[in-house]
Amino acid sequence: MDIKERKSIAVLVGSLRKASLNKKLALVMQELAPDTLGLELVEIGNLPLYNEDLDQNAPAEWTEFRQKITKADGLLFITPEYNRSPSAAMKNAIDVGSRPYMKNVWSNKPAAVISLSPGAIGGFGANHHLRQSLVCVNAVVMAQPEMYIGAAGDLFDENGKLTDKKMEDLIRKFFRSFNRWLSHFIE
């Protein structure tokens, strides 16, 4: 497939930890993505906390972040769960992208959410909380399939490679659905 025909997908990873399971999943997903999708991890850990006073002379990190999201055809959010919610870094990224008023970079962007946790319920609370925030900023969130990945600590080897064939199959199924979802918004 011609690289120009690929849909560009901004991937936001909610965990900032060096050995983040969420980042490991994002990197695996980059490898497993079909040729029709180009996944690019977009850094959120360097974004200064949103403060409307700063929008008069926005920090360079905000400007670069907003430009990357604006250029993306679609969005993929990979989130851990902290206290039944996404991370503060993820919420800050949403706030930074939704401002200044009338310049919301999330608006009408097709999006999907995946939550990942070492726990049994796979970040269910964070997933739904994040979906609620995304709907509020007018991102168009894919309803199905929902992806809550539990027992995530057992999915990767010491090099971050996926060791679970069933999970690989699930990711490929997810991409088929996500590609169909994107086709409703992108020609």
Percent of the chain with pLDDT over 90: 86
pLDDT at residue 2 above 60?
no
In the block, tokens 């993306």 appear at 72
Question: What pLDDT score does 4 carry?
Answer: 55
The residue-averaged pLDDT of 112-131 equals 92
Integer Cα distance of 110 and 119 in angstroms: 28
pLDDT bucket at 5, cuts 50 / 70 / 90: confident
Residue 1: its pLDDT value, please? 44
Are residues 85 and 126 in contact, defined by beta-carbon separation less than 8 angstroms? yes
Say yes or no to pLDDT of 105 above 60. yes
Region label for 23, one of left (φ > 0), alpha (ψ between -120 and 50) or beta (otherwise): alpha
What confidence score (pLDDT) does residue 121 get? 84
Mean pLDDT along residues 23-38: 96
Over residues 161-185, the mean pLDDT reads: 94
In this prediction the pTM is 0.95
pLDDT (average), residues 103-112: 97
pLDDT at 124: 92
For the chain, domains (ranges, CATH) are 3-183 (3.40.50.360)
Q: Which residue has the higher pLDDT, 2 or 99?
A: 99
**Close Cβ partners of 45 (under 8 Å, ≥ 6 residues apart):** 16, 89
